[in-house]
Amino acid sequence: MKLVLIGIQGAGKSTQGNFLSEKYNIPYLSSGHIFRSMAKEKSKIGRWLKETINSGALVPDDKTMEIIFTYLEKPEYANGYILDGFPRTEVQADAFNGGVDHVIFLDVSDKEALWRIAGRVSDRDDETVHAIRKRIELFHELTEPVVHYYSRKKKLVKVDGEKDIDTVFKDIVKGIEKNKKN
């Protein structure tokens, strides 16, 4: 099974991704973790990624697709995966055609997302107030159309991400099962 998690920063994607990984026995992969890991490298791409991420900007479509598609070719993803943070744009969603069975949208308000992020302890350079606000703005501008894209394709499972963690998980599983039948 190939799942994609979409939601604003702070929506709980990594929490739910890890739960889903355990339930369906497929690996969880976060584009953010990949980019942050590469940003630590003392290379040209590493330095560029670090600057891009820390500013709150998104990695451009062509570079994102190159990196993600390369990762998904690894043998551990042959039987499926849970992908968090990709696709973020309609261009990416179009290019990813066939790479997903179900798209889970964790619907969380900006206010809730900011409250959650402010409440967690982080040593990440990309979790400054400026970077977070920029990412929220970019989510509305670029990623909300992806939600509509997958809704039209009948692959979307929309879940109220402001409920408690266990309820959100149960709602996701129910949504996936319902989607499988359609």
The mean per-residue pLDDT over the stretch 175-180 comes to 92
- List pLDDT tens digits, range 48-78: 999 988 887 788 999 999 989 988 889 999 9
The answer to whether the CB of 17 falls within 8 A of the CB of 106 is no
Looking at the structure of the chain, the number of domains it has is 1
Which domain CATH number covers 87? 3.40.50.300
* Mean predicted lDDT score pLDDT of the chain: 90
Whole-model pTM: value is 0.86
The answer to whether the CB of 111 falls within 8 A of the CB of 55 is no
Assign 170 a pLDDT band (cuts: 50, 70, 90).
very high
Give the 3-state DSSP-derived string for the chain, with helices as H, strands as E and coil as C. Answer: CEEEEEECCCCCHHHHHHHHHHHHCCCEEEHHHHHHHHHCCCCHHHHHHHHHHHCCCCCCHHHHHHHHHHHHCCHHHCCCEEEECCCCCHHHHHHCCCCCCEEEEEECCHHHHHHHHHCCCCCCCCCCHHHHHHHHHHHHHHHHHHHHHHHHCCCEEEEECCCCHHHHHHHHHHHHHHHHHC
Domain hosting residue 142, numbered range:
2-181
- List pLDDT tens digits, range 94-147: 999 878 999 999 999 999 988 888 777 666 666 777 778 888 898 999 899 999
